[in-house]
Structure 1
Amino acid sequence: MSHLAYDGTALVGRQLQRARRNPGLLVITQVMPLTLLLFFGYVFGNSVSLPGGADYRTYIVPGLFATTAAGGLVTGMLQAAVDTGRGVTERFRALPISRAAVPLGHAVADVLLFAAGLVPLAAVGYAVGWRNDGGPAATAGALGLLLLLRFTSAWLGVHLGMVVGNEETAGQLASTTFVLQLLSNAYVPTHGMPGWLRAVVEWNPLSAYVTAVRDLTGSAPAGLDDAAGAAWPMTHPVAAALCWSAVLLAVFVPLAIRRSARGRG
């Protein structure tokens, strides 16, 4: 374990240095979420009305927190694909380091970058009218779930990036991940959707995180995410989010480590 910690720490440092030299990555992780927040806060926020007079800005900001956290899928996939396509992962494989250190370094560095970007994102959220009405414990729980989501999605992305092994293909695949956000309750509530679509949206893992963050920060208008007939993840969002992370990590951590150890093919 100490060997893994030492190697993992070194590779986390490598990823952080790499991020400093990659303006495109900084745009994805820092600038784009702020742009989306301002867009939804001031464009849609003035025109969308929710049942019961709920404020749309209050509703949307936690959704953007969660979708930004889920962006680890994109950043992890792109960086792993670049390393694999350029032979960096193969060179790491030839070194006497822990095979888990390479994907772990990707995932931990991505979480640290996300955490840094969450501060200005929350500040802009306050500027557009969102307020955190949860107590210290609930706020810490919401932050913990967001970091867990980023960590989970980063492992998934790293595995896919090593499987794809080509940055161009990874970029094309990354553009399709926005569908996962659209098929969630991050931007609109589920209570008015057709039954089949509502079921798909409510069982989307991202929806559980969105609802959990809304509940923990006191930003969940009554009767929207948990309207009558809502699926279990909507009525037990924290438990559902933890279950989704446990399942996804149990699947993709071993897959990413195995791929890192044996290479492509």
Structure 2
Amino acid sequence: MRAGWVLTQRNLAHWVRQPWAPIFGLLFSIMLLLVFGFLFGGAITVPGGGDYISFLLPGMLALSMMFGVESTATAMAADTRRGITDRFRSMPIGSASVALGRVGADMTNSAAELLVLIAGGLLIGWRITSDPASAALAVVLLLSLRFAVLWIGIFIGLNFRGDGATMAVQVLVWPIGFLSTAIVSAETMPAWLAAIAAWNPLSATASAARQLFGNPTGVTGGVLADGAVWLAIGWPILIVAVFLPLSARAYRKLRH
């Protein structure tokens, strides 16, 4: 655990010296929020009623938890390519310390990004109408999604070198991000597409966050109406259960 904390500090120090990656990631999320909220929002109706900005903001919070995976995969791939990971493997530290260091730094950055986006949402008129405990649970579920997808990023970063990691994450994140209920309700989609979107892990977290923040959900029936919170708990557990062991195996099998 101590080695993991030291490596977390190493990764945070990189961001302090070169803060542009997290800053541009945050600006990208803000840009999407403004574009969909104010440029397209007037043409979008929320099933079940409600203001579109109130519907959109929790979805954008969930979507922002997906976007940072690219930097995680790229950083892991860069360390592997340059031999830094091999140096760590030669040291008397646990095999999980390198990945935990990356996860610790990324979760710190994600928590700060989430707070900034929530503050920005409040400034443009979004409101939390639920009790503090429910709102806190929504934040926990958002960060749980981030924690889970980071392990996907680590796995990709350990298995791809160079630009391959970035492209692999983009191929994964963009379809998952937009084939979901983050921006529009599944009930506005064709039936077959709505079924796919409803079982998307991102949709579960977005819908659960809307419920817990007290915002319009855009859901009038189906699995997201009855079990969004439980799905938002279960999906991250399942993703971590699959990709954490796969990441550990990939780390042990790295070739010098």
For 2:184, which of 157, 181, 188 is the aligned residue?
Answer: 188
The residue number in structure 2 matching 1:104 is 100
For 1:95, which of 65, 72, 91 is the aligned residue?
Answer: 91
* Structure 1 segments (4+ residues) deviating >6 Å: none
Q: In 2, are the aligned partners of 1:211 and 1:220 still within 8 Å (CA)?
A: no
State the Cα deviation string for residues 82-135 of structure 1 (Å, max 9, x = none): 111221111111111110011111112111101111222111111222111111
Q: CA deviation at 1:137?
A: 0.6
For 2:245, which of 254, 257, 265 is the aligned residue?
Answer: 254
Instruction: Tell me which amino acid in the other structure corresponds to 1:69.
Output: M
CA pair 264-146 structure 1, distance change in 2 beyond 3 A: farther
Counterparts of 2:185 and 2:255, CA distance in 1 = 41
Indicate the larger mover: 143-152 or 43-52: 43-52
Q: Which runs of 5+ in 2 are unaligned?
A: none
Matched, 1:170 2:161: no
Counterparts of 1:152 and 1:40, CA distance in 2 = 26
3-state DSSP of counterpart to 2:42: coil
Matched, 1:21 2:17: yes
3-state DSSP of counterpart to 1:112: helix
State the Cα deviation string for residues 198-243 of structure 1 (Å, max 9, x = none): 111111111100101000001124xx22x23x2x344211111111
Counterparts of 1:173 and 1:67, CA distance in 2 = 18
State the Cα deviation string for residues 165-200 of structure 1 (Å, max 9, x = none): 22x112222332211111000010011322211111
Q: CA deviation at 1:14?
A: 0.8
* Aligned pairs (5 A) from 1:98-247: 98-166=94-162, 168-176=163-171, 177-221=173-217, 224-225=218-219, 227-228=220-221, 230=222, 232-247=223-238
* Aligned pairs (5 A) from 1:40-119: 40-119=36-115
- Number of equivalenced pairs: 255
CA pair 198-8 structure 1, distance change in 2 beyond 3 A: same
Q: In 1, are the aligned partners of 2:156 and 2:168 still within 8 Å (CA)?
A: no
* Percent of residue pairs bearing the same amino acid type: 36
Counterparts of 2:55 and 2:234, CA distance in 1 = 24
CA pair 264-239 structure 1, distance change in 2 beyond 3 A: farther
Q: In 2, are the aligned partners of 1:49 and 1:56 still within 8 Å (CA)?
A: yes
Instruction: Tell me which amino acid in the other structure corresponds to 1:219.
Output: N
Indicate the larger mover: 38-47 or 249-258: 38-47
Counterparts of 1:197 and 1:95, CA distance in 2 = 49
Counterparts of 2:168 and 2:152, CA distance in 1 = 13
Instruction: Tell me which amino acid in the other structure corresponds to 1:10.
Output: V
Q: In 2, are the aligned partners of 1:102 and 1:260 still within 8 Å (CA)?
A: no
Counterparts of 2:208 and 2:46, CA distance in 1 = 19
Instruction: Tell me which amino acid in the other structure corresponds to 2:28.
Output: M
Compute the TM-score of the two structures, normalised by the length of structure 2.
Answer: 0.93
The residue number in structure 1 matching 2:35 is 39
